[in-house]
Structure 1
């Protein structure tokens, strides 16, 4: 556009209108401003370059919040789980909310980096926040609203804390094997098969073959408003055959033989119904209380004490049991591909990350044992050291 189209405004700035085309029969323009005609011309050239790339100039004025909400709607339409959708909503509306009122074209990597740096959470959570932002910008790029993804240049601080669930100790695993309780069946199942809580909730006896020692995982229970809804596992790796150890085969066979009438679901409520969120919570709290009284207090306290019972043992969640199963696979020397199949990870990177963490953990423990072995020998080291003998002479 010729420089003669540059006009000086009453406020002293210069402006130029750029024709964008027609939308619904109406001519659309974009106005660029600057302190000098040269600055205005430069901005106009930049707009034309973007138009040449097929960028929708009017969409560039859309806010990040507009596209974040479009992203959430697209994820809901894709059929992601309720828990995953809630996680996306949390990342968008809580952590990325400072960007909501900014237009897409205004946001720089530094804006997102500032949010990441100021958010004091574990590395995995920070990565999830960054990846959510990246997906929002990618959606805008696919729709020709922008041509640049600032989230791609954001780094996770090295000092951000790592978060790893602890595996249960050998003693804690023994507690589960030796403590009868209505939740013991669920605990044993997840500890020695690695099923997710949703998979365990949906599991029926028809899915369990005790003769071959296998469990067919084809479905999962998703909690919506606290109520279970069966859904088919969507990924190929989610649908799998899990091989179980003899200790679980024997336990489940005894449980099945002693249950009358036999309920359809392996894990069920006291009324024989499918487990709800509330049923899980009550059962698990009762289970941890019994374990705490037995192993935290040696049975020398009443679990119905009106003043309550202070926890002396770590309160573990069902997912800790799945992580412990992964630890057992690692300790047994099971290769990472087999472990991925057993655990149903859609991405082998998840399994590798767990194995890498466990490898580091056990190496540190082994070195601690070496240090314990060598430390008592320090006082006697000089008699075996040729240099110290020479000095003594």
Structure 2
């Protein structure tokens, strides 16, 4: 029997998709190894069309959809959040030229796993928050494609963030560190106190006016914010980070008393009402560089005042070291306190709300979170931290009881 070596040609079928914007008919071609396979593929396209799926758009790449999504986000979110989204899209470069319908959960998971193992830019594992941002961006891009009837399911939903991914350090100040802020006068102290006891973001603090603060009612009216664009603070009047960010924040008596004292100081020089509360040395709104100079100067004062320089001397016996007497020490001042940031101060406020027993809905309103999930994540994390602390105290109590103390 003669063996037939002739290669079977693939079977091609065309499916009518209707007329395009120019009035001309549109078709989609499918191929199969057999007539049955080609017919099955053609049938699936017809079924998808009956469901309202735009099968003509499935040739669009992931990058094209990502750009559409970014364009929509540009008018809805702050410049800082937009930069986060753009960065997340760049991290998914492997998907850019894949058709939107061709991207699988595994493709996205591979990117997440690779980033979790090593960030190409730093050579270190990528922080968990960045991984969450990448997944969130992917999820929203595919959701847009679903809403525009191009795909039926979201492959990013099933993607998992590795448990061992490192957490970016953002913690609350200890009670001792909080007292550093309270007890150290400085031009930046106003901002530090408002962020720590009022929970304002840096972008909400920079344009804050004395007229926004009602000391009698003990409230701060957060009704505007700035975005840092090319190093300059651009005011968004009547706008905050999100709609939820426009809010009235109730402040504790300690902050109200502090601000009353500070306001009296400004009143001496007629700087009240429409005066910016935390401003530059020239009484103007702080730019990014102006903020950094002010904040670094404040941190240097805190470091010099509260740093444990005796410990530095013990750990560096080879250096003839004496405690600096000035932040302008010509040989420099070693950093002996943590790098306190605006994020840490805002997180301190969230922690104080939690410890005071403030419910999660009130905390969301006070913090200006657009999504209560953000507040829940903070409270859940704090639950774990403080429950562990409570159990450690229980262990110590049982141990002392056993020893007869």
Q: Which residue of 2 aligns with 1:71?
A: 69
Q: Which moved more, 1:271-280 or 1:18-27?
A: 18-27
Choose the corresponding residue for 2:232, options 221, 227, 232: 227
What is the TM-score with the length of structure 2 in the denominator? Answer: 0.85
- 1:305 correspondence with 2:367: no
1:212-260 deviations in whole A, cap 9, x for unaligned?
2221111112212121122213755322222222221221122121232
1:237-286 deviations in whole A, cap 9, x for unaligned?
32222222222122112212123241610000000000111111011111
Q: Which residue of 2 aligns with 1:100?
A: 96
1:203-218 correspondence runs (5 A): 203-218=208-223
Q: How far has the Cα of 1:336 moved from its partner? A: 2.4
Q: Which residue of 2 aligns with 1:355?
A: 379
Change (3 A) 1:237 1:56: closer
Unaligned ranges ≥5, structure 1: 1-8, 382-393
Q: Which residue of 2 aligns with 1:281?
A: 292
Change (3 A) 1:236 1:105: closer
**Structure 2 SS opposite 1:150:** coil
Structure with more of its chain in helix, by fraction: 1
**C-alpha separation between the residues in 1 aligned to 2:181 and 2:206?**
19
Q: How far has the Cα of 1:171 moved from its partner? A: 0.8
**C-alpha separation between the residues in 2 aligned to 1:289 and 1:235?**
33
Q: How far has the Cα of 1:377 moved from its partner? A: 5.5
Q: Which residue of 2 aligns with 1:142?
A: 147
Choose the corresponding residue for 1:119, options 96, 115, 136: 115
Q: Which residue of 2 aligns with 1:255?
A: 262
What is the TM-score with the length of structure 1 in the denominator? Answer: 0.87
Q: Which residue of 1 aligns with 2:190?
A: 185
Q: Which has the larger radius of gyration?
A: 1
**Structure 2 SS opposite 1:269:** coil
1:22-46 deviations in whole A, cap 9, x for unaligned?
3213333222222222222222222
Q: Which residue of 1 aligns with 2:278?
A: 267
- Aligned pairs, number: 371
Q: How far has the Cα of 1:325 moved from its partner? A: 1.1
Q: Which residue of 1 aligns with 2:28?
A: 30
**Structure 1 SS opposite 2:140:** helix
Unaligned ranges ≥5, structure 2: 1-5, 117-125, 310-321
Q: Which residue of 2 aligns with 1:292?
A: 303
Q: Which residue of 2 aligns with 1:61?
A: 59
Q: Which moved more, 1:157-166 or 1:207-216?
A: 157-166
